[in-house]
Chain A
Amino acid sequence: MNHFPESWGRPRDDIYGTYNPAYLQSTGPKAHTQSPAVTGTSVIAVKFNGGVAIAADNLASYGSLARFTDVKRLRKFSDTAVVGFSGDVSDMQYMDRLLESIDIRENYSTHGNMLNAKNLHTYLSKVLYKRRSEFNPLWNHILVVGFDGDKKPFLSSADLLGTTYSAPHLATGFGAHLAVPILRRLFPEDRPTEDITKEDAVKALRECLKVLWYRDARSLDKYSLAIITEEGVEIKEDQRLENQSWAFAETIRGYGAQVV
């Protein structure tokens, strides 16, 4: 028997090889999130006359595993704004907690909650920038929609590096490749957003989600859709892309292994 107590209860070296002490290490650099774990894919949003529409599917993936299929990635903030999260889900839940505490604090204050979507976007982008500067990023790319101080529709993005930008239509992740070209064709940027109706915007978002469902392998046909107007926020969290099917694929002939 080996008489050294530190080897008791451990796999024997002569059978399993020497144990890698790196696994026991407690010193060394602090391990921050170096890559996301459970992730949400694209968020897409469009401005229209009198408001903004935003959509994201309800899937949280663990690598290529469709891990959670009922995750709400659109977060309402007190009737004034909606935040859509893509990227790491645990970091999303952390930011959700930050927003919750702000909301509570603001509502207990004497002036009531006066934060609009623009304020919220400034805040969240500063949180993201601070965390990237500490080399401990919140692994998300977010879209913030709502209204600015002049009551004009607001849509802006912020990512894990703290980079911010806004445009009449935005998409994160795969949507930046697949949805943005569709949205730019439907609603050219030189056309004023006042020409776009709510129905057009929502229809376009559904069309984009359909394309994403077919071509983004980490997406789902169950999605959430939020519409924010002067009247308030309307969130639908159990939407479904109806009658989608890959069945047509087997009828396609003429390329790949199929010759005739």
Chain B
Amino acid sequence: MTSLVNQQPHSEAIGYSFSQSTHAPNKQHSFYPYTDNGGSTLGITGADFAILAGDTRSVAGYNINSRYAPKVFKIGGDDETGEGAHILLSVVGFAADGHALKERLDAVVKMYKYQHGKPMSVRACAQRLSTILYQKRFFPYYVHAILAGLDEEGTGALYSYDPVGSYEREQCRAAGSAASLIMPFLDNQVNFKNQYIPGSGEGHALEPKKAGPLPRSTVEQLVRDAFTSAVERHIEVGDGLQMMVITANGIEEIYTPLKQD
């Protein structure tokens, strides 16, 4: 009853009042702050190396923005070219967020070196990246990040992330638009899923093939095969393959052309 009186203060109810302000529905924002720039990334580790790769196409819908827009970056290098870096980061998804994330992590790793007088470990950097992503939990960096480097023992280390900072260390991971095409291939060829030792038994007695670190040449070929196949089946992947190999000797970059169609 009271609410009814409040809404209609006068007997000759007029439909408005100068104090009235709550009845208009809030306008919806129509600006959407994200876009998908497509592409795919892939990381595989070995006994003494880690490879991080990504295609170089940048798309907007059905348009190709650029045929060379790298997605794999050196983190914590001494200059603009990334010379002297010992960590790699790949970002795929919304390129502007990916770029901002890369710049932030790069600054963090540099500051760590200046403040502590030693390079940041990959494990520490991985935890820091998770924190950076989670800090924007309610307006996320819309990217799937993969971090690569060598751990304290010198073995290849690979960390994969979701856009809000959940992460884990893995042997291999594919991300981006063709992740669903590449990841099953990696399960089979790197972790030997569904591979059994021939003649080891019948049915459930069949012994699974044991997965172990692969040699660098094998891994490089796997990466190339994964991408040439993804290019055939996904329109957002193509133009070029940028592979970064991190070893105790530093970072080596290998570029291979992919199909441009």
For the complex, what is the distance from the CA of A176 to the CA of B58, rounded to whole Å? 13
For the complex, what is the distance from the CA of A129 to the CA of B95, rounded to whole Å? 11
- A126: nearest chain-B partner, CB-CB: B100
In the A-B complex, the 3 residue pairs with the closest CB atoms: A18-B15, A22-B24, A162-B96
Chain B residues, Cβ within 8 Å of A2: 12, 14
CB of A165 within 8 Å of the partner chain? yes
Looking at A6, A33, A133, A163, which has the most chain B CB atoms within 10 Å of its CB? A163
CB of A114 within 8 Å of the partner chain? no
Q: CB distance B67 to A177 under 8 Å?
A: no
Q: Of B15, B94, B96, which is within 8 A of A19 by CB?
A: B15
- In A18-33, the 8 Å CB interface with B consists of 18-22, 24-29, 31-33
CB of B37 within 8 Å of the partner chain? yes
Chain A residues, Cβ within 8 Å of B65: 157, 163, 165, 167
Q: Of B27, B29, B37, B100, which is within 8 A of A135 by CB?
A: B29
Q: CB distance A25 to B24 under 8 Å?
A: yes
- In B63-83, the 8 Å CB interface with A consists of 63, 65-69
Q: CB distance A26 to B21 under 8 Å?
A: yes
CB of A206 within 8 Å of the partner chain? no
CB of B18 within 8 Å of the partner chain? yes
Q: CB distance A21 to B17 under 8 Å?
A: yes
For the complex, what is the distance from the CA of A7 to the CA of B20, rounded to whole Å? 13
CB of A255 within 8 Å of the partner chain? no
Looking at A29, A35, A164, which has the most chain B CB atoms within 10 Å of its CB? A164
Given A32-B31, A34-B31, A132-B33, are A163 and B14 also a contact pair (CB < 8 Å)?
no
The contact sample of 9 A-B pairs, CB cut-off 8 A, is A17-B15, A20-B16, A24-B16, A24-B20, A25-B24, A27-B21, A165-B58, A167-B68, A176-B60
A186 to chain B, nearest CB (A): 16
A23 to chain B, nearest CB (A): 8
Q: How many residues of B contact A (CB 8 A)?
A: 35
Q: CB distance B15 to A133 under 8 Å?
A: no
CB of B115 within 8 Å of the partner chain? no
Q: CB distance B20 to A135 under 8 Å?
A: no
Q: CB distance B20 to A21 under 8 Å?
A: yes
Contact digits for A161-197, partner B, Cβ 8 Å, 1 yes 0 no: 1111111000000001100100000000100000000
A241 to chain B, nearest CB (A): 25
Q: CB distance A135 to B33 under 8 Å?
A: yes
Chain B residues, Cβ within 8 Å of A176: 60, 63
CB of B131 within 8 Å of the partner chain? no
For the complex, what is the distance from the CA of A22 to the CA of B23, rounded to whole Å? 7
CB of B200 within 8 Å of the partner chain? no
Given A135-B33, A163-B95, are A28 and B24 also a contact pair (CB < 8 Å)?
yes
Q: CB distance B31 to A164 under 8 Å?
A: no
Q: CB distance A13 to B96 under 8 Å?
A: no
For the complex, what is the distance from the CA of A189 to the CA of B63, rounded to whole Å? 16
B175 to chain A, nearest CB (A): 19
For the complex, what is the distance from the CA of A144 to the CA of B35, rounded to whole Å? 21
